[in-house]
Amino acid sequence: MSNEEKKVKEQWDKLWEKSEQKKFYFDETSEKILDTIKEIVKDIKGKKILEIGSGTGKISLMLAKQGAEVYLLDIAPKAIENTKRLFNDMNEKGNFICASMFKIPFEDESFDIVWSSGVLEHFSKKKQTEALEETLRICKPGGFSIVYVPSARGVFYRIGKKTQEIFKRWTVGYEKPEWSLKRMKKHFKNVELKEKNIDFTNQLIFLWPGFLSRGFLKFFRKIVNPKNEKNFIKIFGGYLLMSAFKKLKDK
């Protein structure tokens, strides 16, 4: 394990050890991630799906509820422990692996979809490319490696993050938002890439962390309906950049 990996692991081990298992809540950002996965893949039922850096595991839980065969991988033992408890509480089946995303313990071409959210932005460009190489290795031809990272187009996210860093309230260590992950595509043959910004509203949390309530965000989302949100994203960017790498079938 590289020094960079060790540093990130230590950071998240500490955060997960402090975390408490809370009542299940499927937030709006998770809904948007789930929706975009379903947009890309179309039919989830029966698909073999691996989440990298699974954290709370709640999106994978919803994928399982819709008929997917889900696998959850995280390097933090506490995260895996919490997720196992969540799946048990919700009477859903999942497969849980405590391992590094740089050395995923599965054979080549094992999964229809491999995805991560809130993971790659904590690593250097070199390590990001290594991680993508590993996820594409275990993707089936015609499958997808889908990556969600904070978007550099997200104006309110960037302002909020910078403010928290100045006042020493930023708690997740190194995190670099991205304009695009197109630079990684050149390292791989037979790969297509589609990208878009999603979720305008959630970036507002970063302006007043711990202050903006779920109720406020729900109210604001009613104002920023799906049609209006596209316009807001054009002007202010979204909270997340979604990059879907499709592994093409050999000709």
Residue-range domain boundaries for the chain: 3-151+176-200+239-247
Is 12 within 8 Å of 131 (Cβ atoms)?
Answer: no
Distance CA 135, CA 104 (A): 8
Looking at residue 172, its pLDDT comes to 84
- Given the DSSP bridges, would you call strands 69-74 and 95-98 parallel, antiparallel or unpaired? parallel
For residues 2 and 5, what is the distance between their CA atoms, to the nearest angstrom?
5
Is 22 a residue whose pLDDT tops 80? no
Q: Does the structure show a pLDDT above 80 at 109?
A: yes
pLDDT value, residue 209: 60
Backbone angles phi, psi at 130, to 5 degrees: -60, -40
The bridge status of strand 191-198 relative to strand 240-247 is antiparallel
Helix (H) or strand (E) holding 126: helix 125-137
Q: What is the mean pLDDT of residues 147-167?
A: 93
pTM: 0.91
- The predicted pLDDT at position 170 comes to 87
d(CA 209, CA 213): 9
Task: Name residues whose C-beta falls within 8 Å of residue 107's C-beta, 6 or more positions apart in sequence.
Answer: 138
Could you confirm whether domain 3-151+176-200+239-247 is CATH 3.40.50.150?
yes
pLDDT (0 to 100) of residue 21:
61
Orientation of helix 28-41 relative to helix 58-65, angle to 10°: 50
43-72 per-position pLDDT tens digit: 999 999 999 999 899 999 999 999 999 999
